[in-house]
Structure formats: structure tokens, C-alpha cells
Amino acid sequence: MTTTTTRNQPDGEAASAAIARFTDLQAKLLDYYGVRATSRLVQLARPAMRAHVLEAGEGEPIIFVHGGDGEAVNWSPLLAVLQDHAHVYAVDRPGFGLSDAFDYRTVDLRTHASDFMESLLDALGLETATLVGGSMGGFFVLNAAIAHPERVHRVVLVGYAVGTTRDVGGMAKICGTPGAAEAFMTGRDTMEAQKSQYRDMFQTDPTIVPELFFETRIAGLRLPSEQGTWATLLPRLATLEGLRPEIYLGDELPSIQAPTLVMWGENDLTAAAAGAAVATQIPGGRFAYLEGVGHFPFLEVPELTADHILEFVRET
């Protein structure tokens, strides 16, 4: 990996050490998967901030948006396959990875998501692109497709996307109970906690994920920009009754003009039937059922996930 820019970081030896640790592990994880990526910062207009982007390959542009408490580098297994077929970009969402810190408590989340994606396209010099997202990243991608259809060539949902169903599964208790989100995130930055979360919540066998991946995730959680970010955002998404009404996108899915591929694992956060229903609601929707797969197809079956994406791109 070639790093082309550096970020102005908060004062303090601990903050600097955390950033250096994550940057080093990010490079090692990209090398582990064979991703030939450059790392750079781009200035966004809305929100006014710097976003960190990993970039590789040549050809048609495809932008990847990570979910929940994650970073752009999480997409490495999939980027490794697709970099030979497209110009791939993976972005750290506001408040995550090496992007600037961000306070989600004061924004309209839907407007923020669509503005972020439009400003990212502008900063990358792209009129349009295929947008790929999973989980919270899927929420960003779908809002962009709804608000800015002229900028979105295609949409790919890799697993459950926030906003597509009113059911949020086991996340309702974490999101809706006061203090639960903070308690949940406390202690996530250990190897044992990460493996337990991937196994029990995401239904992803941690033995198929390299230790280096979890080490990088732990380093991400310890970044100054990430500390408290996901815990702050979670209560904005749901209550004990389910998804907050202002987050629900189901009524607007039929307005999406971009061809859309919905991939859903058998063991995802919500039933695969929900994913099939999402694909049915979108006029250009297609559905791919992934047997035996959990919330992260790009980790469990990266080659199969890439095959679905490439076939979809070729046919549309």
C-alpha cells in the first residue's frame, strides 16, 4: 500500500500512537489480501470534513461504504478480487477510520448520508458510480440513490442494510435501552470480544477470519475519531419497538431508479425473506441468496460475492 497523504491528528502521544498503530495494521491487512491500494484524504463540502479513501484498480468506478463500527479496510477480501476488474474506492465514513471525527447526535441522518455520498463523488471527480454498501453502509448508499438518482449508476447491498426493514433483530435492545449502546461498546477492543461478536451477532465463523483482521478492527476502535462514535449513533437508529420511523426507507424503495443487487445471507441479522422483499420493491432489483452465510458475505465468501457483483455489472 502507498500512503499519499497524512492526517492532521489531535495532540497527545496516546492519540498519535493509536493512529500510527491503525495505519500500520491497515497497510499490513491490505498486503495480506494483496490489495494494491493507495491511501489518501479528500475534502468534502457536506459535511465539511476530510474523508479517508482507499483506492485501487482501473476501469469503471465502484465505491464501497462500510457498516457500523468498521473501516474501509474491512472490504479488503473483496477489493482484492475486484481490483483487477474495476476502479475501486473504499471510504471511511465520518467518525471512523482515518476520516475526521463527527458528531452524529446533531444531524438528520438521511440528509447526512445522501450529502456525504454526493460530496464524496464530487471530491473523487466522479459524475456517477456504482455504490456498494452493507449494514449502515447500505443506509448511506440507499439514501444517495433516493436523493441523487442521477449520480448513482448501480446499487449493491452486501447483506442487511439499515433502513430496509422495520425489524432490527437483536439490535433493538442495544439501541433502545438507555445506556445499553455505551455498555455494549465497552470492552469491544479485545480479541475475545471481537471474535465473540462476529460469531454470536454476525453469525460469522471467526476461525475463517485472519487474526490480523481482528487486530486491525481493535486498532480502529481505539482511534480518537471512533471512540464513542458508534455508541452515539446506535440510539439514533432504533427503539425497543424497532427501527425509528425517520430511518425507515421501505416506502421509498420503489422510487430507486438505479439497477440494484441485493445479496442476503441465510444467517444475516434479519431473515433472507426480508432481503428478497427489498429486491422486489425496487423496480430494477435482483436478489441473490447466500446459503449458510452470515452478515458479512465479503469476509465469508469473497469470491462468490465478487462473482455476483461482476455479473451484475456486466448485465446492467
The predicted-structure confidence for 270-316, as pLDDT tens digits, reads as follows 999 999 999 999 999 999 999 999 999 999 999 999 999 999 999 99
Mean pLDDT of 261-272: 96
C-alpha cell at 281: 420493491
- Please report, rounded to a whole number, the percentage of residues in the chain having pLDDT higher than 70: 97
The yes-or-no verdict on residue 118 having pLDDT over 80 is: yes
At the fourth CATH level, which superfamily is domain 2-315?
A: Alpha/Beta hydrolase fold, catalytic domain (3.40.50.1820)
- Per-residue pLDDT at 29: 98
Cα 86 from Cα 153, distance rounded (Å)? 14
The predicted-structure confidence for 68-104, as pLDDT tens digits, reads as follows 889 999 999 999 999 999 999 999 999 999 999 999 9
The yes-or-no verdict on residue 8 having pLDDT over 50 is: no
Residue 288, φ and ψ in degrees, nearest 5: -125, 115
- Per-residue pLDDT at 287: 98
Mean pLDDT of 53-61: 97
Question: What 3-state DSSP class applies to 21?
Answer: helix
DSSP code of 267? Answer: T
Lowest pLDDT segment from 171-175, 186-190, 238-242:
171-175
The yes-or-no verdict on residue 168 having pLDDT over 90 is: no
**Helix ranges, the chain (H):** 13-33, 76-82, 109-124, 136-147, 171-176, 180-185, 191-200, 211-221, 229-233, 272-281, 297-300, 302-315
The yes-or-no verdict on residue 1 having pLDDT over 90 is: no
- For the chain, the domains span 2-315
All residues at 6 or more sequence positions from 273 whose CB lies less than 8 Å from its CB, including other chains: none
Cα 169 from Cα 176, distance rounded (Å)? 12
- Per-residue pLDDT at 9: 42
Cα 60 from Cα 44, distance rounded (Å)? 22
C-alpha cell at 81: 478480487
The yes-or-no verdict on residue 3 having pLDDT over 60 is: no
CB atoms within 10 A of CB 187: 10
All residues at 6 or more sequence positions from 211 whose CB lies less than 8 Å from its CB, including other chains: 191
Cα 223 from Cα 208, distance rounded (Å)? 26
- Characterize the bridge pairing of strands 238-239 and 152-161: unpaired
- Characterize the bridge pairing of strands 61-65 and 260-265: unpaired
- Per-residue pLDDT at 169: 73
Question: Which three-class secondary structure string do you get for 154-202?
Answer: EEEEEEEECCCCCCCCCHHHHHHCCCHHHHHHCCCCCHHHHHHHHHHCC
Q: Find out whether the peptide bond into 47 is cis, omega within 30 degrees of 0.
A: yes
